[in-house]
Structure 1
Amino acid sequence: MVRSDTRAQRPPGVGATVWVAALTAGFITSGMQGIVPAIPAIRDHFGLDNFQVGLITSVYLLPGVFSAFAAGVLTERIGPRKVVVGGLTVFGLGGLLLLFAHDLGTLLAVRFVQGIVFGALQSITVGIIGSAALSGRAAHRDQSRRIVAMAASESVFPVIGGMLLAVSWFAPFATQLLTLPLAVVAWFVLKDRQDEPRKAGDAAKVSVWKAPAIVGVQILAAARFIFKFAVLTYTPVLAVDQVGMSAATVGWLVGACGALSAVTALLSEKLASRWRSSEMIFGCMLLIAISLVLIGWAGAAAVVAIGLLLYGIQDGIYGVAHNVLANEMAPTGTRMAYIGLTGTVRNIGKFTSPLLFGAVTLALSIPQTFFAFAGLSVVGAAVARRVAGVQRDLQSITASTDSAEQPTDSAEPERTDEKR
């Protein structure tokens, strides 16, 4: 373990750094969650059709596929403070501009730029938090702060946006102004250069592409969002069409699912005392398989509800565990670039998930597609088990190196079991 799990032994300012990174990840969700209630009003104001409405979302999410990795490389060169402060400032000023410029071209252009920031900051905040602790309970505790901050923001911003909508169709963009005071705080809290946690036995800077188990770790990164967005997109369809659930009930269940994710994210710290991050993901993959089978069975509304809630239980653990895993498996000297690559892969998973699920439904029914995805989660469990094996081997090497480097006192007399 790189850092102690004891709070008292952590360097001054580490806690503030973790919270600034967590709030950064939470506040920039306002770019989507804050304007969700306003999408119908935006459609009506500009007279958009259904395809054009999709542009409001797609121009925001698409840049994240490319900006996450670039942001990781940039952070290694100029430090996290400049990247985070600059990103928060650009994001907030974009929201300010949309309060005064009301043409569609400006709206889409600002959304595109904000999407670049969104993809970049969502990714590097994982690495910034990882600089406080790479592994162990402290790492899970720190990463859970980010998950909870995001979950809280995703719950609060739609409410605030809905209230502001009573003022005007563009008023919900005001939620994005919260990033401006946070940028000021970040300037004083973050460092120009983040201390790079080193693992025992590491020497020279290692290429991102030579990281151990890089393929497996990235598969697990994409898998979480492939399953998550498939569940969030198609469970409501199945619940309404197959078992006669009301839209309101589905909404409450999805909200409860998110709340459970936040709770289990906090509990992951306890699990870290018994299992490695990769082993937690292995367990989560098996729970995903069970939840997808229950949802796909669609025998009754209660069964679908249990499957959805079971999915929420594992999602918080999975989110924290993979953030920790990415920091643990990142090479020395290129950790932020590795985290950026992981963020890019996650964003690809978000985009491809509904497309993959929808493509399968061309040949299978929706319940059968859930069963097929349950089979994929079993394959994901096998990948997680393979990564766990690599992680165990690395930790064994680290332990051997630490043991070899322990100083010995040759002057200490040899002890015997002879009684005096």
Structure 2
Amino acid sequence: MVKTARAVAPGVVVAVCFLIAAVEGYDIQAFGVAAPRLVPELGLDSSQQGWAASAAMIGLVLGAFAGGWLADRTGRKPVLIASVIGFGLCSIWTALSHDYETLLAARFITGLGFGGAMPNLIAVAAEISRPERRGATVSAMFCGMPAGGAAVALAARLWGEALDWRMIFVAGGVLPLLLVPVIVLLLPETRPAAAPAADRRLLPALFAGGRAVPTLLLWAANILTLVILYLMLNWLPTLVVAKGLPPADGAAASLAFNIVGVAGALALGVVTDRLGHRWTLAAAYAGLAVAILALSRAEGAAAVLTLSAAAGFLVLGAQYALYALAPMLYGPSVRAAGAGAAVGVGRFGSIIGPLLAGELRHAGWAAGQVIDAMAPLAVGAGLAVVVLTMVARLKAD
């Protein structure tokens, strides 16, 4: 565990990082919640809506690479502060958008802030926790993301038609800005002492010293897992309705997926700390494949809700366990850059997932067939993790 610049209780650091993840999760989900009112007001067609929804994820990919690289040179804390200010201000910019071009630019730059924050949260978790608690610490921090997403969905449900879509983004901008003084006061700098420049070059850090195969396997597992996760986040209610159930059951399935997913993230974080990543994640991905296949065949509301919850428990738990695994592959001087690369490459899955579902539905696939298509991806991700943990030299500094 890396010593921080000043004594701050790890629980306080986890709480601050949880709040950062929560405001980020709120803003990531805000577009989907606001879309039913935003799209007609700005006169967007379906293609423009798709690009506006994906713009933040594209920005996140670039921001994750840049934010991780920069933090290993300047420190975690300044990059985190800049990232939070950036996506806070750009959320307000989104609220002020009156045309497609402005909206697209605002969401893209918002995504840069998202990306800058994520690898640094992973690095901070790795550096303030004992190796035997790393999985639980990372999972606890990142549980803020589904919690924030659930909060914006719940707010929209409670206020209903009375809620202006612009106010969703105003709140998503003000909350991060209010959090900045908390970060400044309570979050310590955890970056280790500077290493020689040669040791901090990104490509050697990712691929030299026997890390090429583990790095590629980690990227593959992240991509496959995020295809499943974002397909479910964006399409689960629609697919449930397409199975003949009412819209209320689709919304309930999505809520169950997210809420129970928080429990899965915490549970798998604890289990991986005790039993290791290899067989814990292999079992999680196998269970996810079974839950997906069962969900595709479920008919009644009770079965759909139960299996949606099970899928959320397993896929969110597996994704956050992968976040905890990433820092173990890389040394402290390139930890944020390595985690950022895994986050950035993995986020291609978050772009592919919703597009894949749309293309399959457009091609005439039934809802159950679209859900079935995710089962082989879960198996592939599980195999990638098993091989990764067999060949990698995991670091527990």
- Superposition TM-score tier, normalisation by shorter sequence: 0.7 to 0.9
Aligned twin of 2:34: 38
How far off its partner does 1:84 sit?
1.2
Q: Which moved more, 1:230-239 or 1:331-340?
A: 230-239
1:406 aligns with none
* Equivalent in the alignment of 2:191: 194
CA contact (8 A) 2:63 2:115 kept: yes
Q: 1:126 to 1:367 in 2, by over 3 A?
A: same
Could you tell me whether the CA contact under 8 Å between 2:67 and 2:340 is conserved in 1?
yes
Gaps in structure 1 of 5+ consecutive residues: 5-9, 403-420
What does residue 83 of structure 1 align with? 79
CA distance in 1, matches of 2:352, 2:103: 25
Q: Compute the displacement of 1:390 (Å).
A: 2.7
Counterpart code for 1:376:
L
Aligned residue number for residue 150 of structure 1: 145
2:130 counterpart of 1:140: no
Pair 247,183 (structure 1): closer, same or farther in 2 beyond 3 Å = same
Q: 1:341: Cα distance to partner? A: 0.4
Deviations 1:23-65, CA, capped at 9 Å, x for gaps: 1121123323335443233223323333333343222222112
SS at match of 1:387: helix
Which has the greater radius of gyration? 1
- Give 3-state SS (helix, strand or coil) of 2:274's partner: coil
> Equivalents in 2 of 1:364, 1:95: separation in Å?
36
* Distance apart, 1:127 and its partner CA: 1.8
Taking a change above 3 Å as real, the CA distance of residues 227 and 80 of structure 1, as seen in their structure-2 partners, is same
Does the aligned pair in 1 maintain the 2:85–2:180 contact within 8 Å?
Answer: yes
Q: Please report the RMSD computed on the Cα atoms of aligned residues, expressed in angstroms.
A: 3.2
For 1:258, the equivalent position in structure 2 comes to 258
How far apart are the structure 1 equivalents of 2:224 and 2:104? 30
Counterpart Cα distance in 2 of 1:379 and 1:101: 41
Aligned to 1:208: 206
Query: What does residue 240 of structure 1 align with?
Result: 241
- Corresponding residue of 2:178: 181
TM-score, length-scaled by structure 2: 0.84
Alpha-carbon distance between aligned partners in 2 of 1:22 and 1:310, rounded to the nearest angstrom = 23
8 Å contact 1:134–1:327 — kept in the other structure?
A: no
Which sections of structure 2, spanning at least 5 residues, go unmatched? Answer: none
Write out aligned runs for 1:13-412 (5 A).
13-97=9-93, 102=98, 104-133=100-129, 135-136=131-132, 138-160=133-155, 163=159, 166=162, 168-175=164-171, 176-192=173-189, 194-195=191-192, 207-210=205-208, 211=211, 213-242=214-243, 244-298=244-298, 301-358=301-358, 362=363, 365-391=366-392, 394=394
Question: Is the contact made by 1:278 and 1:325 (CA closer than 8 Å) also made in structure 2?
Answer: no
Residue 34 of structure 2 aligns to a residue whose secondary structure is: helix
**1:3, 1:134 within 8 Å by CA — same for their partners in 2?**
no
Is the 1:147–1:319 Cα contact (8 Å) retained in structure 2?
Answer: no
Change (3 A) 1:262 1:236: same
Amino acid at match of 2:191: Q
Residue 388 to residue 35, structure 1, CA distance change in 2 (3 Å):
closer
Whole-Å Cα distance in 2 between the matches of residues 115 and 204 of structure 1?
29
CA distance in 2, matches of 1:256, 1:267: 16
User: Structure 1 length as normaliser, TM-score?
Assistant: 0.80
Q: Distance in 2 between matches of 1:259 and 1:363?
A: 31
**Residue 334 to residue 302, structure 1, CA distance change in 2 (3 Å):** same
Q: 1: CA distance between counterparts of 2:99 and 2:360?
A: 39
CA shift, 1:164, in A, is 9.5
Aligned partners of 2:224 and 2:377 also within 8 Å: no
Query: % of aligned pairs identical?
Result: 22
Amino acid at match of 1:50: S
| Matched residue type, 2:320 | V
Write the distance in 2 (CA, Å) between the matches of 1:238 and 1:293: 14
Q: CA deviation at 1:240?
A: 2.8
Greater helix share, 1 or 2?
2
Take 1:38 and 1:373, find their aligned partners in 2: how far apart are those partners? 27
Of 217-226 and 21-30, deviating more is 21-30
Tell me the secondary structure at the aligned position of residue 12 of structure 1: coil
1:117 deviates by 0.7
Cα displacement (A) at 1:15: 2.9
